[in-house]
Amino acid sequence: MISLFHSLSQSCSKITTEQYSTSFSNAIKLLHKDLRPHIYNIYGFVRVADEIVDSFHEYDKAMLLDEFKQQTRKAIDQKISTNPILHSFQLTVNEYNIDYSLIDAFFVSMEFDLTKKRYDEHGYKDYIYGSAEVVGLMCLYIFCEGDSESYNKLMPYAQSLGAAFQKVNFLRDMKADFTGMNRTYFPGIDFNNFTGEMKKKIEEEISADFNHAYQGICQLPYKARFGVYVAYQYYLSLFFKIRQTQPNSLLSARIRIPNYAKAFIVLRAGLKNQLNIL
């Protein structure tokens, strides 16, 4: 009856995704049904690690993260875990032979969040790679379904998309990161004196990431293209809203996209997909 435990574990990852991110869970539903469980498995794993460093303030975060890291390695090596989130994740990692170096890099960035409050240019790039780009690369393993040639061709675009999403998150979550946890990810930026010029420079960097990522989305396998395009459009709409927001306002409120706007994004993306004009 191990199949029942497989199913239960993957349901846990799906529920975790739905509870923590409406936008991502809606986009995942637009992927081909063969891909969905594995993307849920990746997101569930990432979400739990992120929660440890961001939310478990009354506990020993370093100890919990280290335990989670060791349990992840053991789950992948043994191809089993009594932790449903880790069990579902190892199913995906082992089925698609996801390179463990991506998982290692992810944990390095999570460990940064325990101690680092400011980043120089090198640290900023390392953090984004480990916290976001490698997640895009893990998902790309699923989207390419074992086609290593396609994976290698699409790698740079997946990294750009992950970087764009993360940088938008940094701007969206400025209030929680800076005022709540005293974190500043952007190098050389003083949020006590966050000017329009500083904001514009960051926005230009994000625009370049989005533009590069779009080229890759157009080349994705059909099973993945629509769902990834919708996630791209969700974040692009959020980015446009952030661009229209004054710098000081980002420190006082979290920018959101209302549900009716998300529905419109899906309808418009669906039309483009049907007309094959993504």
Other C-beta atoms closer than 10 Å to the C-beta of 165 total 26
In this prediction, residues 191-216 reach a mean pLDDT of 94
- What pLDDT sits at residue 183? 87
Q: Which long-range contacts link 118-124 to residues 24+ away (Cβ below 8 Å)?
A: 118/184, 118/187, 119/184, 119/185, 119/186, 119/187, 120/187, 121/187, 121/188, 123/187, 124/185, 124/186, 124/187
205-215 b/e (C-beta count within 10 Å ≥ 16 → b)? ebeebbebbbe
Residue 260 reports pLDDT greater than 80: no
Q: Read off the pTM.
A: 0.93
Average pLDDT score over the chain? 92
In the chain, where are the structural domains located? 2-274
Q: Is 45 exposed, middle or buried (0-12, 13-18, 19+ CB in 10 A)?
A: buried
pLDDT digits (tens, 9 = 90+) for 158-194: 999 999 999 999 999 888 888 878 888 999 888 888 8
Rounded percentage of the chain residues whose pLDDT exceeds 90: 76
Residue 134 has pLDDT above 70, yes or no: yes
Average of per-residue pLDDT across 78-92: 98
Give the burial class of 185: count Cβ atoms within 10 A of its Cβ; 0-12 exposed, 13-18 middle, 19 or more buried: buried
What contacts 214, CB < 8 A, 6 or more positions away? 232
> Comparing 60-64, 148-152, 270-274, which segment has the lowest mean pLDDT?
270-274
User: Does residue 141 carry a pLDDT above 70?
Assistant: yes
At 271 the pLDDT is 66
Where does the pLDDT of residue 46 fall: very low under 50, low under 70, confident under 90, or very high at 90 and above?
very high
Q: Which CATH superfamily is domain 2-274 in?
A: Farnesyl Diphosphate Synthase (1.10.600.10)
Residue 189 is predicted with a pLDDT of 84
